[in-house]
Chain A
Amino acid sequence: MAAHAEAAHHGPPAAHHSSRVSASVLGMLLFIASEVMLFGSFFTAYFFVRVVNGIDWPPAPFELPIFVAGVNTAILVTSSFTMHWALQSIKRGNRAGLQAGLLLTFLMGLVFLLTQAIEYSRVGFAPHDGAFGTIFYCLTGLHGAHVFVGLSILLFMTIRAFRGHFSPEHHHGVEIGGIYWHFVDVMWIVVYSTVYLL
């Protein structure tokens, strides 16, 4: 029996996909799940500081640059649209769309990160200025670090796209990077809504 089977198939049985999710997507999902827990611990600290202390937010005399952060939010959300466009383009065989979409996404992510760095330099308080300053920098900094990681992934994706990688049949690298980028955007929506607006 084994001889018959070996005649048609060499090596171990095909990989088991009982979850019906590819191993790479599953890996990204598990990674994002751990990220949700990480952000969750920081948000817990934020709400603890804000609700338990019962202080005004932000405490006087500090002010948060809501408008600049709002424009930055719009830029980051727009980058998700270009990311989505990039993937839809390569699914239809439109390589130029893929390249343009990834490049625009990368540039908008870079603008977001630079704007946040400028915001830090002008915001008027530092991480050591009480619990407010600490939690503000921790939350926005944690998110900024994730944007940096996302930009690194995007850079590789963009280089690969310009080198002719990816096709309508094989675009898994864009798919996984896209999931991560959207997740980073969702986390920013949470940060912006809770820290800046509410």
Chain B
Amino acid sequence: MINPLRSEAEAFRFLIASIAYFGAIVTAAVAGGTWAGLGVFVGLTAGVLAWWLHARREERPPQTAPRPHAEGERRILVVANETVAGHTLRSVILEKSRGVRGEVLVVTPALNSPLKHWVSDEDQARAAAQERLDASLAKLAEAGVQARGEVGDGDPLQAMEDALRTFGADQIIISTHPEGRSHWLERGVVEKARERFAVPITHVVVDLEAERDDVRD
């Protein structure tokens, strides 16, 4: 949906549209009587509402850049829901931190239903995310990757942005299920993250069922 008062220019256009809208209703009411005015009002309002609900703003979001930190240090942000168990992801993390002092932050989004999200009922979602995160950190530790973790926002993009602001990663690894089984891929999370963040992003596909992994830079 478009907010018609987001900027002065949009508010000005909204004023012009309001004049046209009420002008049409008044003209119809004066020329054709109350029922004609009411008909134009209902028709115009339905049209405007339909347009407004489907209108989308065509704009690229501003990119979030990593915060600077010491040379020789590489900060890797891993965003994964439950796919940290894959060995490919672990090897990618090890490869990315080879030869440098690597620091790894794993963020597990607290996935929630839209209704629960809007009513701020997220206790269960955060608890479940914390369990998945603990399991992921334990598996990484077994594989020799020292990492710390955080439960993030239910929206993976928001979780990444939050983590970038405090962690200042210079490499993001997004781990997903394969296409067809991944909600994140359906929603274009990887593409949107590449648009939104000025940080190299590696997408790791983890097929937990087949233990057959794939890596795409």
Contacts and interface: CB of A to CB of B under 8 A. Distances in A.
A4 interface: yes
A186 B30 CA distance: 21
Interface size of A as a range: 20 to 34
A137 B11 CA distance: 27
B3 to A, nearest CB: 7
Where chain A touches its partner, the secondary structure class is helix
Given A4-B73, A182-B14, A182-B15, A193 B6 contact: no
B62 A20 contact: yes
Contacts of A117: none
A190 B67 CA distance: 48
Interface stretch (A6-14, A39-47, A141-149, A160-168): A6-14
Contacts of A18: 158, 161-162
Interface stretch (B17-25, B80-88, B108-116): B17-25
A197 B26 contact: yes
A4 B165 contact: no
A16 interface: yes
B12 A193 contact: no
B161 A179 contact: no
A20 B61 contact: yes
A5 interface: yes
A150 B137 CA distance: 56
A84 B68 contact: no
A104 B110 CA distance: 53
Where chain B touches its partner, the secondary structure class is helix
Centre residue among A1, A32, A185 by max chain B CB count within 10 A: A1
A25 interface: yes
Contacts of B37: 198
Nearest to B30: A197
Contacts of B185: none
Given A4-B73, A29-B6, A32-B5, A178 B11 contact: yes
Contacts of B213: none
A121 B162 CA distance: 58
A159 to B, nearest CB: 19
A84 B9 contact: yes
Contacts of A14: 165
A174 B18 contact: no
A4 B166 contact: no
A189 B68 contact: no
B69 A77 contact: no
Contact of A183 (B11, B70, B161): B11
Interface of B: 3, 5-9, 11-12, 14-15, 18-19, 22, 25-26, 29-30, 37, 61-62, 67-70, 73, 103, 158, 161-162, 165-166, 168
Given A5-B67, A8-B69, 7 more contacts: A1-B69, A1-B73, A84-B12, A174-B8, A179-B5, A179-B8, A197-B30
The 6 closest A-B pairs by CB, nearest first: A178-B8, A4-B70, A182-B11, A193-B22, A8-B68, A84-B12
